[in-house]
A and B are shown apart, each in its own frame.
Chain A
Amino acid sequence: MVNILFIEHDGTEHSVTVEPGGSVMLAAVTNGVPGIDADCGGSCSCATCHVYVNQEWLKRMDPVNPIEEAMLSMSSDRKENSRLSCQITVTDELDGLVVTTPEFQF
């Protein structure tokens, strides 16, 4: 099992434990974590599952793919450590992952 900590923009924390294999977006949505809309259901085509990931953790994930990059570039809250959580696969290496959700999804 993999533990993930979601921190809202106001600091509210939500800790979830999930099986590896799904996406970080699903880990949030299926555990009632607020702040992630996921309008397209996980097909990397709406950018409403935007999260910020600590640099250390970014290194342990597959890099941003071109489609994800295109969608992220449409976000006005884009930062260097922005990711779409539907594109991050939960693996054992990500146990303890910390992600922050933005104030708004757009």
Chain B
Amino acid sequence: MTEVAIDEQTNLSKWSMVGKDPYAMPLEDIDLSHPGIWQANQHLPFLKRLRDEAPVHFCRNSAVGPYWSVMKYQDIMEVDTSPAIYSSEPTVAIVDSFEEFALPSFISMDPPKHDEQRKIVQSVVAPANLKKLEGLIRQRVANILDSLPVGEEFDWVTNVSIELTTQMLATLFDFPFEDRYKLTHWSDVATAIPGHGVVDTREQRWEAIQECLVYFTNLWNARVNKAPGIDLISMLAHGESTRNMPPQEFLGNIILLIVGGNDTTRNSISGGVVALNENPVEYDKLRNDRTLITNMVSEIIRWQTPLAYMRRTAKVDTVLHDQRIKAGDKVVMWYASGNRDEEVIERADSFWIDRPNARQHLSFGFGLHRCMGNRLAEMQLRILWEEIMQRFQMVEIVGEPQRIYSSFIKGYSDLPVVLHPLS
């Protein structure tokens, strides 16, 4: 990856597909890696054309270089479950050189190292541990909801989605609660494209990441000298295969856990409000039967697909859906497309809270890299909606949702709402 590509990445307008008709351009010109169509919420017709006409599609020219797009549910399953062919190294982002993804972490490692490191931290988000946290999470959700203004406009993203996920992350890290907004900032910085809101330059981003490293190194040093605790930092500091981790690798894993636990659930929290507002019949179903919440949570996660893709790199020459992929090629699994694949998912574009088999979606990925925090995410969303339904007749969207400038993080930066109390 080169300086040129990064500069092109910061000057992306020439690559934009916004406002274009996906059916009025040659197939090979379609470039899903550009953030524009995702922010403008115009991506779905592009995904559909590729699913129908080029399910394994090669994009030769883009700001991030050439790459393959895998569009269909079953093909994505095949790539995701074949780590010997499709490697997660050196990175799972389309862009090779985004510094934060160059930091080593187990999401961008293959077995056996991946397995060793993941095992250390996954028990903190295993269901048995989460059961102990349920009361605390419910209390924190209740506090957030009870502090919201009723009948006047506010931003749901800032006041609920970010607040709740940040508090949860602080809980899992046993992070100083008063400093918890730093976590949000570091997460936003880690996935930001310089010049598009969060940071202006790569230097600014690097400074923020260094600040994150220093902060967590101090926490590590404090915990390593104490008895092992059940928070993530203590687990890393005391875990046999992680306690001698080099600083870059420690930071890589910390940022992975921050981004993994922050951006994703945050955007499913916002996405649920968007989906219910766009589908009033489903909102009525929910009001009439709150036992649908568990199923609805899976449907929200599918419908939103908070991470649009994961990238792999072919280790060997291979064939996928009749296309010859060469060793070294970038292969991008578009979960956002697989989750709309009508061959596997009935009425895939519909948001349907009592959908049969709602759990069978791609948002968590499959195989060894399947989302470690999936049960935590589901639990947070379930508790949130249980508590919302006890308080409010409707979370009404009163302005245009603003979406994030990213083809990776699929989410919202602003969501103006008004709360209507139960009558």
Contact = CB atoms under 8 A, between A and B. Distances in A.
Contact of B368 (A43, A70, A76, A105): A70
B217 interface: no
B134 interface: no
A40 B366 contact: yes
Contacts of A46: 366, 370
Interface of A: 37, 39-41, 43-47, 67, 70-71, 73-74, 76-77, 103-106
A18 to B, nearest CB: 20
Interface stretch (B22-30, B111-119, B279-287): B111-119
A90 B127 CA distance: 29
Contact of A74 (B80, B122, B359): B122
Contact of A70 (B115, B123, B359, B360): B115
Contacts of A45: 77, 80-81, 366-367, 370
A74 B118 contact: yes
A101 to B, nearest CB: 13
A74 B128 contact: no
B119 A104 contact: no
B375 interface: yes
B126 interface: yes
Contacts of A76: 122-123, 126, 128
B356 to A, nearest CB: 12
Contacts of B77: 40, 43, 45
Interface in B67-119: 77, 80-81, 111, 115, 118-119
A76 B127 CA distance: 9
A76 B230 CA distance: 14
A53 B80 CA distance: 28
Given A40-B77, A73-B119, A103 B366 contact: no
Nearest to B375: A106
